[in-house]
Chains A and B, each alone.
Chain A
Amino acid sequence: MTWKQRLAPYALGFPTAFWLTLFFAVPLISVLSVALMTGNPEKGFTLTWHFSIFWDSLKQYHTQFLRSFYYGALSTLIALVIAYPMAYFIAFHGGRNKSTYLLIILLPFFVSYVIRAFSWQFILSNDGIFLTFLRNIGLVSKNFTILHTPFAVIAALTYDAIPYMVLPLFVALEKIDRRVITAAGDLYANPVMTFVRIVLPLTSAGIFAGFLLVFVTNVGDYVAAGILGGPGTTMIGNVIQNSYLQDQTYPLASALSSILMIVLLVIIWLYARVFGTEAVEEAVA
């Protein structure tokens, strides 16, 4: 190899490496440093190294932290249960229309998440079409509401997660050699057995990939709670957003963000160590 060929990958990779270092990796560290500062927006902030802020902020907002993880896990689980049969149908019965099905499933992405969340607010509001209908047929009482409840927020999170969940599951199901399933049938496994013992284990990579993508996204979400939720459904994302952009209490916001980042990075890292990065990247590609 000539020195030119040797240097080629560095030259090719440099711009992206530079950009990701400066605008992705370094910021993750700078958020930690802001957490250790004291001051206010008028006078400026100085580094004071008071590590207690992490503990204090966690103590103050542990409810929102726990709620975020609870909402995130629950919505991910429901999305998984809904998305699995869909991915199964498309992979095994989609025939020639597989890419058309996937396209239809991805259609919601062409409408801004904020508009879709607002559209749900519009539908589920007290004088909206859904509750008016339920009231008219006498199914619910007059003061029954959906908005501002945990149900509304979790439903919105689940709703947004379905397409993200279908993709990795579909990729995993597509990879299964159909002869394995035929073999299971030939060996007198009933369809339930075949699914539980053959299909499910073979798609575990897709299940975990979908779980990672959706769970991490939903734990950090604040749009669903911001538009459809109420005071009792505040998630940690709402707190971080509020204290950064409204209250401008940057150290507190940075501390909360750092804690969330560290917890989720550990989950991402553990995932990558155990399962590798292929399933997630295949789903994206």
Chain B
Amino acid sequence: MSAVEAPAAAGTPVAAPSKAPRRRERRSRSALILGGFTWLVILYTLVPIIVMIIFSFNQTPNGRVTFHWYGATTQWYVHIFEISDLTTALVHSIEVACASTLISILIGVPMAMALARHRFLGRAAVESVVFVDIAAPSVVVGASLLALFLTLNVTRGLATIMIAHVAFNVAFVVVVVRARIAGLDRSIERAAADLGASPWVTFQKVLLPLMLPGIVAAALLCFAMSIDDFIITQFVAGQTLTFPLWVYGAVKVGIPPQVFVMGTMIFLFGAVLAIGNVFFQRRSEKAAAPIQVAEPQPITTVL
């Protein structure tokens, strides 16, 4: 036996030095190509945003964004709220985003808890409706809600927009928060109960703090989706305009630079929040490392 094994064992160290570096070299070269490609595509996805930011500083004479560069100015930032109906539209967007995020969290988190921790009748039905809600195309969701509002003769406006936004946001809350709860160790809650904590106290002092990163991530996702939504909103808005609706309406006649200014501000606000969330999660994950189950939750950390 040992006679057979010996040459093989002797052979490996000889072969290894000649083979390993070449393989590593090839790997690093492919990593370089992949990395270069990745950064190129990232750059490409950022092109329209960079254009938006640059041209928000363009000193256009006629109050419409143009490709001709007239020199840099911050006047559009100073006069950001000059166009009153655009400002109103932006305020509508922010109002709807805040309200729909709040409601989605309030009703979605309990459902996530029910799905993660309980068996109940109709569970499978809830799961499939949530899944279809996430996968369904906006135009169908929007058209269907409009059909309902038309049938019931509901006046369309901010309230119907908010109802629609909750209808698509809540599914994301359920999925994101449930993933968070599923990654938690159940014995912590049991321990709290064993130590005499009532269900409410267990929820408040144990489950809620542990769920919080998931809830924050879900809230950010809701806010971002709500403020960006165009298709569903257009169907249920009636005469009311939100920021994306106003912009879409203005595309044919030309867009005032204020749109780019507001877009830039929203972008910076969202980016800062998301970066802050990644930073905060990294820190809290380090602190809470011993409690958490090592369940990878990559996207939650990002949004």
Contact = CB atoms under 8 A, between A and B. Distances in A.
A253 B143 contact: yes
Interface stretch (A48-56, A58-66, A108-116, A134-142): A108-116
A222 B231 contact: yes
Nearest to B255: A118
A125 B228 CA distance: 24
Interface string A1-16: 0000000111111011
B96 interface: no
Interface in A263-285: 264-265, 268, 271-272, 277, 280-285
B34 A16 contact: no
Contact of A280 (B114, B131, B303): B131
B195 interface: no
B263 A27 contact: no
A119 B52 contact: yes
Nearest to A100: B278
B228 to A, nearest CB: 5
Contact of A244 (B34, B44, B146, B224): B146
B42 interface: yes
Interface residues on B, range: 35 or more
B222 to A, nearest CB: 12
Nearest to A108: B45
A24 B133 contact: yes
Given A88-B34, A240-B143, A19 B170 contact: yes
A33 B282 CA distance: 51
Contacts of B132: 265, 268
Contacts of B83: none
Contacts of B111: 12-13, 15-17
Given A12-B111, A122-B51, A281 B299 contact: no
Given A102-B302, A223-B230, A244-B143, A13 B126 contact: yes
Contacts, number: 303
Interface string B133-152: 11111111101111110110
B134 A284 contact: yes
- Secondary structure at the A interface, as helix, strand, loop or mixed, is helix
Given A25-B129, A89-B35, A284-B172, A99 B143 contact: no
A222 B139 CA distance: 8
A103 B275 contact: yes
Contacts of A198: none
A23 interface: yes
Interface stretch (B71-79, B174-182, B286-294): B174-182
11 contacts: A10-B114, A13-B111, A13-B126, A23-B148, A99-B302, A105-B42, A112-B227, A112-B230, A119-B47, A223-B231, A265-B136
Given A103-B275, A219-B137, 9 more contacts: A23-B163, A34-B151, A92-B31, A111-B266, A116-B48, A123-B48, A212-B135, A244-B146, A268-B136
Interface of A: 8-13, 15-17, 19-21, 23-28, 30-31, 33-34, 45, 82, 85-86, 88-90, 92-93, 98-116, 118-123, 125, 127-129, 159, 162-163, 167, 170-171, 174-175, 185, 191, 212-213, 216-217, 219-223, 226-227, 237, 240-241, 244-245, 250, 253-254, 257, 260-261, 264-265, 268, 271-272, 277, 280-285
